[in-house]
């Protein structure tokens, strides 16, 4: 019999939020994380209602397929319960929640998932995300419109495409069956962890911190160290090769909103608790809703988001183009200035056919471009010059200006004539 628990659940309100809208559950066979969002109010209510309803599916199943069906059915039942609750309390309209859960059956795991909370499996030191985010940005990534790196900083990255709530009577829930073996670590977390702590860091903590509880605590602390702008919830399950239920290491139960009495912001003077099918709600004056998650209710809103994204892409293209034009203009301007500068210089040298000439510009060439041209050619040949002057001309003689160049040329012409007519 194990002496240390093989599962742990930790939830923290974070450093910015006034209330915890996350819920977590660590049971005997079932493990759940839910991240609620409010319309007017009630993100905490949504995650708590869903988690408590789904926790009713915590049982020993003989076949993993049965567990998968039971988990999916529990999530659909939670969805109905949320709709009924909104029907009874219109103040809660628009509330919803992500849910990611696993049910263990021997060496297999039944998984059900909706939203952007995540499930990871750490195996042999490698962390693998086994759920897909049902987010707007993930849809953009899947369709190749943005990269995963762009998605991570996208201003609409928290917009969810699918949740449980009062919006959709038949929510699209991902389910699958995975294997689990001794040494595997299963991490369920809200985006309060995965959006702020890099996967490398999560993997490093899971690989190095042995105790289940200590590892869960350490992950939450890591998010707090990053400022924890959001609620953060971590549920961790260690597979030590034995059945979780058999060794009596049942988990710590509910955490987060699901661990507190269910209350919500009342619309008026009515503070009477209302009995729901399975739950009791107490109105409560709560803090104003915080806008992190927003579930698009209509297709037109989605279109609006996609259009917004297109506009952003267009703006990026225009900015890039303007940048290129500015850089090209600067380069052309600099070249023109440099060329102008070269053309203020003169020198005396020899032409290709051996005559003394005045050149405007400098002697250098840039690739095929000559930075000088002949300004004036004399009839005098370089060969007619005395040896010393000939060498000077062959090496070229710099002039201060055009006038100076003419003086030099005249002197050379005179020297040639006196040299050839002794």
CA gap 19, 40 in Å, rounded: 14
Judged by CB under 5 A, the stretch of 27-35, 68-76, 162-170, 268-276 that binds Ca ion is 27-35
Closest distance of CB 20 from Ca ion, Å: 10
Closest distance of CB 222 from Ca ion, Å: 16
| Strand (E) or helix (H) holding 285 | none
- Burial environment of residue 160 by CB neighbours within 10 A (0 to 12, 13 to 18, 19 or more): buried
Q: List binders of Ca ion among 380-409 (CB under 5 A).
A: none
Judged by CB under 5 A, the stretch of 4-12, 29-37, 148-156, 218-226 that binds Ca ion is 29-37
- For 221-246, letters b (16+ CB in 10 Å) and e give bbbeebebebbbbbbbbbbeeebbee
Q: Which of 44, 184, 222, 230 binds Ca ion (CB under 5 A)?
A: 230
Strands (E), 132-285: 164-165, 174-179, 185-189, 232-238, 253-256, 263-264, 274-275, 280-283
Q: Per-residue x/- mask for Ca ion, residues 279 to 318, rule CB under 5 A? A: ----------------------------------------
Q: For Ca ion, which is the closer residue by CB, 187 or 405?
A: 187
Q: Name 2's Cβ contacts closer than 8 Å, sequence gap at least 6.
A: 240, 242, 247, 248, 249
At 214 the three-state DSSP class reads: helix
Closest distance of CB 103 from Ca ion, Å: 23
116 binds Ca ion (CB under 5 A): no
Q: List binders of Ca ion among 122-161 (CB under 5 A).
A: none
CB count within 10 Å of CB 34 equals 36
Q: Which of 6, 14, 35, 358 binds Ca ion (CB under 5 A)?
A: 35
Judged by CB under 5 A, the stretch of 61-69, 227-235, 261-269, 314-322 that binds Ca ion is 227-235
| CA dihedral sign, ordered 55, 57, 60, 61 | negative
Closest distance of CB 282 from Ca ion, Å: 24
Closest distance of CB 15 from Ca ion, Å: 13
Q: For Ca ion, which is the closer residue by CB, 228 or 237?
A: 228
| CA dihedral sign, ordered 129, 130, 131, 136 | positive
Q: Which of 91, 166, 184, 191 binds Ca ion (CB under 5 A)?
A: 191
Q: For Ca ion, which is the closer residue by CB, 14 or 283?
A: 14
Closest distance of CB 98 from Ca ion, Å: 8
Closest distance of CB 41 from Ca ion, Å: 16
| Total number of residues that touch Ca ion (CB under 5 A) | 5
Closest distance of CB 157 from Ca ion, Å: 11
At 189 the three-state DSSP class reads: strand
For 317, the token pair is: 């293209």
List contacts with Ca ion (CB under 5 A).
35, 190-192, 230
């Amino acid at each position: 019999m194990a002496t240390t628990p093989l599962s742990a659940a930790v939830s923290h309100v974070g450093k910015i939020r006034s209330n915890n809208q996350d819920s977590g559950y660590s049971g005997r066979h079932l493990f759940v994380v839910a991240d609620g969002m409010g319309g007017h109010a009630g993100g905490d209510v949504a995650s708590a209602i869903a988690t408590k309803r789904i926790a009713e599916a915590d049982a020993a199943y003989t076949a993993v397929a049965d567990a998968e069906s039971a988990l999916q059915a529990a999530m659909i039942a939670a969805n109905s319960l949320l709709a009924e609750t909104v029907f009874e309390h219109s103040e809660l309209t628009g509330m919803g929640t992500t849910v990611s859960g696993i049910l263990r059956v021997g060496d297999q795991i039944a998984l059900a998932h909706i939203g952007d909370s995540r499930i990871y499996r750490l195996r042999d030191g490698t962390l693998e995300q086994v759920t897909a985010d049902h987010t707007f940005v993930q849809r953009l990534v899947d369709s190749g419109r943005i990269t995963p790196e762009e998605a991570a900083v996208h201003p609409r990255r928290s917009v969810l495409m699918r949740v449980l709530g009062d919006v959709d009577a038949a929510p699209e829930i991902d389910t699958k069956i995975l294997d689990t073996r001794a040494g595997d670590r299963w991490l369920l977390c809200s985006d309060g962890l995965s959006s702020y702590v890099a996967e490398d860091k999560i993997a490093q903590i899971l690989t190095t911190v042995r105790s289940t509880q200590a590892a869960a605590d350490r992950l939450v602390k890591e998010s707090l160290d990053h400022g924890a702008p959001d609620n953060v919830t971590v549920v961790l399950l260690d597979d030590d090769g034995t059945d979780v239920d058999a060794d009596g290491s049942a988990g710590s139960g509910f955490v987060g909103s699901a661990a507190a009495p269910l209350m919500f912001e009342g619309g008026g003077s009515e503070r009477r608790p209302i009995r729901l099918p399975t739950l009791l709600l107490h109105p409560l004056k709560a803090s104003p809703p915080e806008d992190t998650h927003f579930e698009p209710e209509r297709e037109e809103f989605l279109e609006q988001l996609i259009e917004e994204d297109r506009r952003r892409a267009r703006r990026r293209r225009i900015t890039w183009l303007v940048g290129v034009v500015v850089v090209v203009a600067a380069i052309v301007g600099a070249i023109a200035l440099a060329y102008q500068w070269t053309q203020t210089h003169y020198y005396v040298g020899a032409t290709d056919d051996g005559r003394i000439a005045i050149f405007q510009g400098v002697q250098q060439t840039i690739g095929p471009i000559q930075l000088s041209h002949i300004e004036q050619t004399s009839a005098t040949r370089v060969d007619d010059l005395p040896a010393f002057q000939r060498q000077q001309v062959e090496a070229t003689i710099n002039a201060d200006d055009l006038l100076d160049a003419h003086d030099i040329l005249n002197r050379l012409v005179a020297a040639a004539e006196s040299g050839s007519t002794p």
